[in-house]
Amino acid sequence: MEYFVYQFQAFFLVLVRMTAMMVIAPFFSSGAIPLLMRGALSFFVSLVIFPVLSISNAAVTGNMGVYYLMVVQEIIIGLYIGFLVSVVFSAFQLSGQYFSVQIGFGINEVIDPLAQISIPLVGQLKNIIGLLVFLAINGHHFMIKAIFHSYELAPAFALKGESLQAFLKFLAHSFSGMFVIALKISLPIIAAVFLVSVSLGILAKAAPQMNIMMLGFPFKIAVAFGMMILISPLIVRVMNVSLERTFQFIVKVLRYWPV
């Protein structure tokens, strides 16, 4: 009985890290996936990877206060891994926000079923495209592998106090990269809409009797969507590269984890 309890404590820590990742990671955190199914998936994946992990013989403390801190530590690591990927999807949504107001779509907001927040319609479109790219490159498989390899690169029971400094460093790098990715995706459309606005301003000066505002919105929408169709291979490519670099960044985060 004592051996079973010891193994259960170690398994529970693995389960906590896996569950925390699925709570916040894209695709797994989708509202379309029932909570019970997510819990069952976390349990069975943890059940598969636990026998091959090297933490079963770790010194699990009998002090409940220390064990509680271990559980909190595992939650933080799981949330952190999932959050680094969710930041990229925030960049996809932000890219649509950059020009939605200029083309008249800023007031039309919808509820994102993945993040459960209100976002512009164009941002929702790019978020869905990003999710399809994420599934096409097997990003959901990588997230599970990242949790597995995190026990080799960031072992359980071994984090020290300087982890907070590493958290802040990598988070700052992630947020700065989010704005760069959003700008790369939306820059061609922003430039096209800006040129249209300048042209309409010149036309308003040349023919003030025309209602340029009423004519401008449909024209801007047509130009914006035409540009999105034209550069859609580029958008998919940028999303693909951004997700792959994020996966590499997660490996780098875990490799240089302060243990």
pLDDT at 186: 83
pTM above threshold 0.85: no
pLDDT at 1: 47
pLDDT at 57: 45
Rounded distance, CA 170 to CA 150, Å?
A: 16
Number of domains making up the chain: 1
Residue-range definition of the domain harbouring residue 181:
2-255
3-state secondary structure the chain: CHHHHHHHHHHHHHHHHHHHHHHHCCCCCCCCCCHHHHHHHHHHHHHHHHHHCCCCCCCCCCCHHHHHHHHHHHHHHHHHHHHHHHHHHHHHHHHHHHHHCCCCCCCCEEECCCCCCEEEHHHHHHHHHHHHHHHHCCHHHHHHHHHHHHHHHCCCCCCCCCHHHHHHHHHHHHHHHHHHHHHHHHHHHHHHHHHHHHHHHHHHHHCCCCCHHHHHHHHHHHHHHHHHHHCHHHHHHHHHHHHHHHHHHHHHHHHCCCC
With beta carbons less than 8 A apart as the criterion, state whether 41 and 144 touch: no
Query: Mean pLDDT in each 10-residue stretch from start to end of the chain (259 residues)?
Result: 63 84 81 79 83 59 72 81 83 79 65 57 79 84 80 58 64 77 84 84 75 75 85 86 82 65
pLDDT at 100: 76
